[in-house]
Amino acid sequence: MTLDAYPIEVEFPDISSHAAGNTGIAYMHTFDSGSAGPHVMINALTHGNEVCGAIVVDALLRARLRPRHGKLTLSFANVDAYARFNAAAPDKARFVDQDFNRVWTAAKLDDLATRSSELERARAMRPVVDTVDLLLDLHSMHEKSAPLIVAGPLDKGIELSAQLGSPATVICDEGHPEGRRMRDYEGFGDAASPKNALLIECGQHWEAAAVAVARDSTARFLLLSGVVDASDLPPGWIMPLPGEMRVVRVTEPVVAKSMDFRFAGPYTGLEVFEKAGAVIGWSEGHPVATPYDDCMLVMPSLRQLRPGVTVVRLGQIERRIDQSSRKEEQHT
Protein backbone atom coordinates (compact mmCIF):
# COMPACT_ATOMS: atom_id res chain seq x y z
CA MET A 1 0.00 0.00 0.00
CA THR A 2 1.42 3.37 -1.07
CA LEU A 3 0.04 6.59 0.39
CA ASP A 4 0.38 9.90 -1.41
CA ALA A 5 2.89 12.27 0.17
CA TYR A 6 1.87 15.76 1.23
CA PRO A 7 3.90 18.69 -0.07
CA ILE A 8 6.49 20.23 2.25
CA GLU A 9 5.47 23.88 2.50
CA VAL A 10 7.81 25.05 5.28
CA GLU A 11 11.53 25.39 5.88
CA PHE A 12 13.03 23.13 8.53
CA PRO A 13 15.08 25.35 10.87
CA ASP A 14 18.68 24.64 11.71
CA ILE A 15 18.45 24.22 15.48
CA SER A 16 22.12 23.40 16.03
CA SER A 17 22.77 26.82 17.58
CA HIS A 18 20.48 25.77 20.46
CA ALA A 19 22.29 22.48 21.11
CA ALA A 20 24.15 23.50 24.25
CA GLY A 21 21.04 24.55 26.16
CA ASN A 22 21.54 26.20 29.55
CA THR A 23 20.28 23.42 31.83
CA GLY A 24 23.09 20.91 31.42
CA ILE A 25 20.75 19.06 29.05
CA ALA A 26 21.19 19.47 25.31
CA TYR A 27 18.51 21.46 23.51
CA MET A 28 16.74 22.48 26.75
CA HIS A 29 16.70 26.12 27.86
CA THR A 30 15.19 27.30 31.14
CA PHE A 31 14.85 30.97 32.07
CA ASP A 32 13.98 32.05 35.61
CA SER A 33 12.38 35.45 36.14
CA GLY A 34 13.24 35.49 39.83
CA SER A 35 9.58 36.35 40.46
CA ALA A 36 6.88 34.01 41.73
CA GLY A 37 4.94 32.09 39.11
CA PRO A 38 4.55 28.71 37.44
CA HIS A 39 7.21 26.79 35.55
CA VAL A 40 5.91 26.66 31.97
CA MET A 41 7.39 24.43 29.29
CA ILE A 42 6.90 24.72 25.51
CA ASN A 43 8.09 21.50 23.91
CA ALA A 44 8.78 20.75 20.25
CA LEU A 45 9.89 17.70 18.27
CA THR A 46 8.34 14.97 20.36
CA HIS A 47 8.30 13.42 16.90
CA GLY A 48 11.18 14.24 14.59
CA ASN A 49 9.09 15.00 11.51
CA GLU A 50 6.66 17.37 13.27
CA VAL A 51 8.37 20.63 12.43
CA CYS A 52 5.83 23.34 13.34
CA GLY A 53 6.79 23.26 17.02
CA ALA A 54 10.48 23.48 16.16
CA ILE A 55 9.79 26.59 14.09
CA VAL A 56 8.02 28.20 17.06
CA VAL A 57 10.58 27.27 19.72
CA ASP A 58 13.44 28.32 17.44
CA ALA A 59 11.73 31.70 16.90
CA LEU A 60 11.21 32.28 20.63
CA LEU A 61 14.82 31.44 21.43
CA ARG A 62 16.09 33.73 18.67
CA ALA A 63 13.77 36.49 19.93
CA ARG A 64 15.26 36.02 23.42
CA LEU A 65 11.87 35.69 25.06
CA ARG A 66 12.18 35.82 28.83
CA PRO A 67 9.50 35.33 31.50
CA ARG A 68 8.32 38.22 33.65
CA HIS A 69 7.03 35.76 36.26
CA GLY A 70 7.92 32.17 37.09
CA LYS A 71 10.12 30.06 34.82
CA LEU A 72 9.99 29.29 31.11
CA THR A 73 11.52 26.20 29.49
CA LEU A 74 11.86 26.02 25.71
CA SER A 75 12.87 22.57 24.49
CA PHE A 76 13.44 20.37 21.48
CA ALA A 77 12.81 16.72 22.35
CA ASN A 78 13.66 14.05 19.78
CA VAL A 79 16.51 15.87 18.07
CA ASP A 80 18.12 12.64 16.84
CA ALA A 81 14.99 11.79 14.87
CA TYR A 82 14.81 15.36 13.53
CA ALA A 83 18.39 15.07 12.28
CA ARG A 84 17.35 12.04 10.19
CA PHE A 85 14.65 13.92 8.27
CA ASN A 86 14.71 13.18 4.56
CA ALA A 87 12.16 14.85 2.29
CA ALA A 88 12.15 11.74 0.09
CA ALA A 89 10.88 9.63 3.02
CA PRO A 90 9.51 12.17 5.52
CA ASP A 91 7.47 9.80 7.69
CA LYS A 92 10.56 7.78 8.65
CA ALA A 93 11.87 10.60 10.85
CA ARG A 94 9.06 10.21 13.39
CA PHE A 95 11.44 8.38 15.76
CA VAL A 96 14.71 6.44 15.81
CA ASP A 97 13.98 3.27 17.82
CA GLN A 98 10.54 3.75 19.34
CA ASP A 99 7.89 6.40 19.72
CA PHE A 100 9.18 9.06 22.16
CA ASN A 101 5.58 9.78 23.15
CA ARG A 102 4.96 6.25 24.46
CA VAL A 103 7.71 5.98 27.09
CA TRP A 104 6.52 8.40 29.78
CA THR A 105 6.01 6.26 32.87
CA ALA A 106 8.32 6.29 35.85
CA ALA A 107 8.68 2.51 35.56
CA LYS A 108 9.93 2.68 31.96
CA LEU A 109 12.28 5.55 32.68
CA ASP A 110 13.64 3.82 35.80
CA ASP A 111 14.27 0.53 33.98
CA LEU A 112 17.85 1.23 32.89
CA ALA A 113 18.21 -2.29 31.50
CA THR A 114 15.93 -1.27 28.63
CA ARG A 115 17.60 1.14 26.24
CA SER A 116 16.64 3.03 23.11
CA SER A 117 17.42 6.42 21.60
CA GLU A 118 14.06 7.74 22.79
CA LEU A 119 14.32 6.33 26.31
CA GLU A 120 17.78 7.87 26.72
CA ARG A 121 16.50 11.25 25.60
CA ALA A 122 13.45 11.07 27.89
CA ARG A 123 15.71 10.13 30.81
CA ALA A 124 17.94 13.10 30.05
CA MET A 125 14.97 15.50 29.92
CA ARG A 126 13.20 14.06 32.95
CA PRO A 127 14.87 16.19 35.67
CA VAL A 128 13.52 19.36 34.02
CA VAL A 129 10.13 17.89 33.11
CA ASP A 130 9.69 16.82 36.73
CA THR A 131 9.76 20.49 37.79
CA VAL A 132 7.27 21.78 35.18
CA ASP A 133 3.83 22.99 36.27
CA LEU A 134 2.28 23.67 32.84
CA LEU A 135 3.33 21.85 29.67
CA LEU A 136 2.39 22.67 26.08
CA ASP A 137 3.51 19.92 23.71
CA LEU A 138 3.38 20.98 20.05
CA HIS A 139 2.57 18.23 17.54
CA SER A 140 1.22 17.80 14.03
CA MET A 141 -0.68 15.07 12.20
CA HIS A 142 -0.07 12.52 9.47
CA GLU A 143 -3.15 13.64 7.52
CA LYS A 144 -4.43 17.09 6.60
CA SER A 145 -7.13 17.71 9.19
CA ALA A 146 -8.46 20.52 11.34
CA PRO A 147 -6.26 21.18 14.40
CA LEU A 148 -7.06 19.63 17.78
CA ILE A 149 -6.34 20.05 21.46
CA VAL A 150 -5.57 16.70 23.08
CA ALA A 151 -6.60 17.33 26.67
CA GLY A 152 -6.18 13.88 28.19
CA PRO A 153 -8.90 12.12 30.21
CA LEU A 154 -9.23 14.52 33.15
CA ASP A 155 -11.55 17.47 33.79
CA LYS A 156 -8.56 19.72 34.47
CA GLY A 157 -7.38 19.22 30.89
CA ILE A 158 -10.78 20.16 29.51
CA GLU A 159 -10.90 23.24 31.73
CA LEU A 160 -7.45 24.39 30.59
CA SER A 161 -8.46 23.81 26.95
CA ALA A 162 -11.58 25.94 27.40
CA GLN A 163 -9.48 28.72 28.92
CA LEU A 164 -7.05 28.52 26.01
CA GLY A 165 -9.98 28.88 23.57
CA SER A 166 -8.36 27.44 20.44
CA PRO A 167 -8.18 25.13 18.47
CA ALA A 168 -11.89 24.50 18.24
CA THR A 169 -11.94 20.73 18.88
CA VAL A 170 -10.92 19.30 22.26
CA ILE A 171 -10.17 15.58 22.37
CA CYS A 172 -10.45 13.82 25.75
CA ASP A 173 -8.78 10.41 25.75
CA GLU A 174 -6.82 7.89 27.79
CA GLY A 175 -3.87 7.79 25.41
CA HIS A 176 -2.47 4.84 23.46
CA PRO A 177 -2.15 1.12 24.26
CA GLU A 178 1.54 1.29 23.24
CA GLY A 179 2.51 3.53 26.16
CA ARG A 180 2.04 6.83 27.99
CA ARG A 181 2.51 10.25 26.43
CA MET A 182 4.53 13.08 27.93
CA ARG A 183 1.34 15.07 28.45
CA ASP A 184 0.08 12.31 30.79
CA TYR A 185 3.34 11.87 32.71
CA GLU A 186 3.14 11.86 36.52
CA GLY A 187 1.38 15.00 37.84
CA PHE A 188 0.09 16.03 34.41
CA GLY A 189 -2.07 12.89 34.42
CA ASP A 190 -3.00 12.98 38.11
CA ALA A 191 -6.37 14.52 38.96
CA ALA A 192 -5.12 15.45 42.43
CA SER A 193 -2.08 17.37 41.12
CA PRO A 194 -2.18 21.07 40.20
CA LYS A 195 0.11 20.32 37.28
CA ASN A 196 -1.51 20.38 33.85
CA ALA A 197 -0.62 19.77 30.22
CA LEU A 198 -2.05 20.12 26.74
CA LEU A 199 -0.96 18.60 23.48
CA ILE A 200 -1.83 20.53 20.32
CA GLU A 201 -2.17 18.75 16.99
CA CYS A 202 -1.59 21.80 14.82
CA GLY A 203 -2.40 20.39 11.38
CA GLN A 204 -0.64 18.25 8.78
CA HIS A 205 3.08 17.91 9.45
CA TRP A 206 4.44 20.11 6.69
CA GLU A 207 1.66 22.56 5.88
CA ALA A 208 2.21 26.26 6.50
CA ALA A 209 -1.14 26.51 8.30
CA ALA A 210 0.16 24.24 11.07
CA VAL A 211 2.85 26.79 11.91
CA ALA A 212 0.21 29.51 12.32
CA VAL A 213 -1.73 27.25 14.72
CA ALA A 214 1.43 26.44 16.68
CA ARG A 215 2.22 30.15 17.04
CA ASP A 216 -1.33 30.99 18.12
CA SER A 217 -1.51 28.12 20.65
CA THR A 218 1.89 28.97 22.11
CA ALA A 219 1.13 32.68 22.45
CA ARG A 220 -2.22 31.95 24.11
CA PHE A 221 -0.67 29.39 26.47
CA LEU A 222 2.08 31.76 27.58
CA LEU A 223 -0.39 34.58 28.18
CA LEU A 224 -2.82 32.29 30.01
CA SER A 225 -0.04 31.09 32.32
CA GLY A 226 0.91 34.67 33.18
CA VAL A 227 4.65 34.21 32.58
CA VAL A 228 4.75 36.87 29.83
CA ASP A 229 2.81 39.94 28.71
CA ALA A 230 1.28 40.38 25.26
CA SER A 231 3.94 42.95 24.40
CA ASP A 232 6.64 40.31 24.89
CA LEU A 233 5.36 38.08 22.10
CA PRO A 234 6.13 38.33 18.39
CA PRO A 235 3.45 40.40 16.62
CA GLY A 236 0.77 38.63 14.59
CA TRP A 237 0.92 35.28 16.35
CA ILE A 238 -2.57 35.35 17.88
CA MET A 239 -5.44 34.50 15.52
CA PRO A 240 -9.17 35.09 16.04
CA LEU A 241 -10.93 32.68 18.38
CA PRO A 242 -13.35 30.12 16.94
CA GLY A 243 -16.98 30.91 17.68
CA GLU A 244 -17.50 27.53 19.31
CA MET A 245 -15.43 24.78 20.86
CA ARG A 246 -16.60 21.17 20.95
CA VAL A 247 -15.44 18.60 23.48
CA VAL A 248 -15.11 15.08 22.10
CA ARG A 249 -14.69 12.07 24.39
CA VAL A 250 -12.75 9.17 22.87
CA THR A 251 -14.49 5.92 23.78
CA GLU A 252 -12.14 3.40 22.20
CA PRO A 253 -9.13 3.03 19.93
CA VAL A 254 -9.06 0.91 16.81
CA VAL A 255 -5.75 -0.95 16.96
CA ALA A 256 -4.23 -2.77 14.00
CA LYS A 257 -3.77 -6.49 14.61
CA SER A 258 -1.49 -6.84 11.59
CA MET A 259 -0.55 -5.04 8.38
CA ASP A 260 -3.89 -6.19 6.94
CA PHE A 261 -5.95 -3.10 7.77
CA ARG A 262 -7.67 -0.69 5.40
CA PHE A 263 -10.20 2.10 5.71
CA ALA A 264 -13.46 2.23 3.79
CA GLY A 265 -12.81 5.78 2.62
CA PRO A 266 -10.16 8.50 2.36
CA TYR A 267 -10.65 9.67 5.95
CA THR A 268 -8.45 12.43 7.39
CA GLY A 269 -10.22 13.12 10.71
CA LEU A 270 -13.35 14.54 12.38
CA GLU A 271 -15.71 12.67 10.04
CA VAL A 272 -19.00 11.94 11.85
CA PHE A 273 -21.11 8.87 11.05
CA GLU A 274 -24.78 9.41 11.83
CA LYS A 275 -25.78 5.81 12.50
CA ALA A 276 -24.22 2.97 14.50
CA GLY A 277 -23.00 0.07 12.41
CA ALA A 278 -21.43 2.13 9.62
CA VAL A 279 -18.44 0.21 8.26
CA ILE A 280 -15.34 2.39 8.42
CA GLY A 281 -12.73 -0.23 7.53
CA TRP A 282 -11.59 -3.85 7.54
CA SER A 283 -9.12 -5.57 9.86
CA GLU A 284 -7.81 -8.89 8.55
CA GLY A 285 -10.89 -9.08 6.35
CA HIS A 286 -13.36 -8.39 9.17
CA PRO A 287 -15.48 -5.21 9.09
CA VAL A 288 -14.81 -2.46 11.63
CA ALA A 289 -18.05 -0.60 12.36
CA THR A 290 -19.09 2.44 14.38
CA PRO A 291 -20.43 1.33 17.79
CA TYR A 292 -22.94 4.18 18.27
CA ASP A 293 -24.74 7.00 16.49
CA ASP A 294 -22.87 10.23 15.67
CA CYS A 295 -19.48 8.56 15.96
CA MET A 296 -16.48 10.75 15.14
CA LEU A 297 -13.20 9.53 13.68
CA VAL A 298 -10.22 11.03 15.49
CA MET A 299 -6.89 11.18 13.62
CA PRO A 300 -7.28 8.20 11.26
CA SER A 301 -4.07 7.27 9.45
CA LEU A 302 -2.25 4.24 8.09
CA ARG A 303 1.11 5.98 7.60
CA GLN A 304 2.59 4.30 10.68
CA LEU A 305 0.69 1.03 10.23
CA ARG A 306 2.13 -1.94 12.10
CA PRO A 307 0.69 -4.46 14.58
CA GLY A 308 -0.34 -2.76 17.82
CA VAL A 309 -0.59 0.75 16.39
CA THR A 310 -3.77 2.80 16.90
CA VAL A 311 -5.03 3.60 13.39
CA VAL A 312 -8.02 5.68 14.52
CA ARG A 313 -9.88 6.56 17.69
CA LEU A 314 -13.67 6.72 17.98
CA GLY A 315 -15.32 9.58 19.84
CA GLN A 316 -18.58 11.21 20.88
CA ILE A 317 -19.26 14.95 21.13
CA GLU A 318 -19.90 15.58 24.83
CA ARG A 319 -20.61 19.29 24.80
CA ARG A 320 -20.18 22.53 22.94
CA ILE A 321 -18.76 25.78 24.34
CA ASP A 322 -20.06 29.05 22.90
CA GLN A 323 -17.28 31.62 22.54
CA SER A 324 -19.13 34.33 20.62
CA SER A 325 -19.14 36.79 23.51
CA ARG A 326 -15.50 36.04 24.25
CA LYS A 327 -14.63 36.73 20.63
CA GLU A 328 -16.33 40.15 20.87
CA GLU A 329 -14.26 40.89 23.98
CA GLN A 330 -11.10 40.04 22.07
CA HIS A 331 -11.92 42.50 19.31
CA THR A 332 -12.75 45.40 21.64
Predicted confidence (pLDDT) per residue in 207-239, tens digit:
999 999 999 999 999 999 999 999 999 999 999
Q: What is the pLDDT of residue 89?
A: 87
pTM higher than 0.85, yes or no? yes
**pLDDT, averaged across the chain:** 94
Q: Indicate if 33 and 181 belong to the same structural domain.
A: yes
**Are 235 and 261 found together in one domain?**
no
Asked whether residue 79 falls in the same domain as residue 167, the answer is yes
Does residue 300 contact residue 310 with C-beta atoms inside 8 Å?
A: no
Taking residue 62's Cβ as centre, other Cβ atoms within 10 Å add up to 12
State the first-to-last Cα distance of the chain, in angstroms, to the nearest integer: 52
331: pLDDT confidence band, cut at 50, 70 and 90?
A: very low
In a domain, 6, yes or no: no
Tell me how far CA of residue 50 lies from CA of 57, 85, 191, 256, in angstroms.
12, 10, 29, 23
Q: What torsion, rounded to 10 degrees, do the Cα atoms 307, 309, 314, 317 define? A: 180
In a domain, residue 317? The reply is yes
Q: Is the pLDDT of residue 328 over 70?
A: no
- DSSP label of 85: -
Q: Which domain holds residue 303?
A: 250-323
Q: Which secondary-structure segment (H or E) carries 173?
A: none
Determine the Cα–Cα distance for residues 175 and 188; give it in Å rounded to an integer. 13
**Number of domains within the chain:** 2
Q: Same structural domain for residues 165 and 306?
A: no
Instruction: Indicate the residue among 225, 242, 259 that finishes a domain.
Output: 242
Check whether 329 has a pLDDT greater than 80.
no
Helices (H) and strands (E) in the chain, counts: 7, 14
Question: Which tens digit of pLDDT belongs to each residue from 65-100?
Answer: 999 999 999 999 999 999 999 988 888 899 999 999
